[in-house]
Chains A and B, each alone.
Chain A
């Protein structure tokens, strides 16, 4: 917004005032002579492209991770875990607790009057990764029969759902892309039992990194009996959450915490996202410092090469401001070009690039880099600022040069 207003003001000044028109014509001369200084101008462009490319790519990694987790869950479904457990992996709920939670009046019921609740058991198993061949952890979620209604976004893209009571699994799209031997028909060994993959699902969020099976069969396989790690419930509506939380807290039989599923997944992303952002900005800043000095070198040389020309302009009545503005504009244009190249390359190479890292449940979270328009704009702003700083000091020198000395220069 502010940038837009500034741009508009600059444009008005260039077009309407006398000194503005002078600045514009000097800038044109500068730009037209760029081909004579192609090598050094290229340094500014490539230097800034490098900064913007790296910055955008690293921030896109953080944004992609955050987006994957933040898209998961909704305001009108809640997750209930044992008090104090920050993640499902840390939580244990016994069968009675799970039943009590689903019986709360704030939980929506289906046409048959059955609460829409899914007691779920999250365990971790290790499978070899495609990229390294090394074992990595994958989240295995045993779900109840209402799990599907609680995640309307989840769709099967191939095969079918697992049958209750059978050792069958369905694999998320992300998990399938990262792990070896998890295609339909593959069998997976879990605690010496063979399970068959019967379907692939996609929900565009954190669940894509998981493998699902029937909770009632996963439990015994992992010696967890009928206990679960969490209960997911659909609330009557989003506003019922506070009442639901209060009802759980006031029941002396329960020692549990409730969060909306949206809040639960957002919290999981905040630490890593913040960390990646700090990292990206630190790396970007150090690179930007390098690029600023490169731009300074180039523009000092450019100004030096045009000493006589600038002195002539001054002699025939051009003021200092147009000269300063023209050098600044030239550097910022070079910077903008670099920014567009860098951001464009980052977008071409990294938008939707899939990667995975260790999430809060000690298992792989698969996510895609997200090069959003906002991020591209951030990159361009950095490019303009680097161009501005790199052009400022050479511009001031150009304007301060004594006219007489400049004219005598060879």
Chain B
């Protein structure tokens, strides 16, 4: 039996185990669940190592190739990586430690700031794309305006009873369309998963051989 078929059989067995444990309330089912989860964590860990190695290699190449001020970015990458690894491995990580301070005072504010950019991007996207170009675009525009006005305290004062329309949009067309999308996504996801388990879809290397 060649390597591809052995891999397909392994995928099939593990896929069937993952499905079976869902139906077995007995402790054996739970054991299978924990077994698969533990191995998933192990695989993810080693994949993360491979990813970090690739990232470090890429940044080293970038450090060699770039000139002048552009070298700051790969340099900062290595400084940040070194600080977090050393403080995390050597020192304590509880509240008040250097590791925790770096997380709370650098990473968290940076993340919050980065996601706050969404507000600005949304405003510009709304200004640029919500135009009366066609019937569907007009419906999108009207829905957006009704939702923006209807779901905040000032909206009622500007346009009385706007919240009724906003609630109707959320509870009727939104619910109907969301359900339809989810049913389609669910069915497509099941079909994709079964194709993977049965071995119809697999890594690119299976097709090359």
Chains A and B bind each other: no
Give residues in A with beta carbon < 8 Å to B.
none
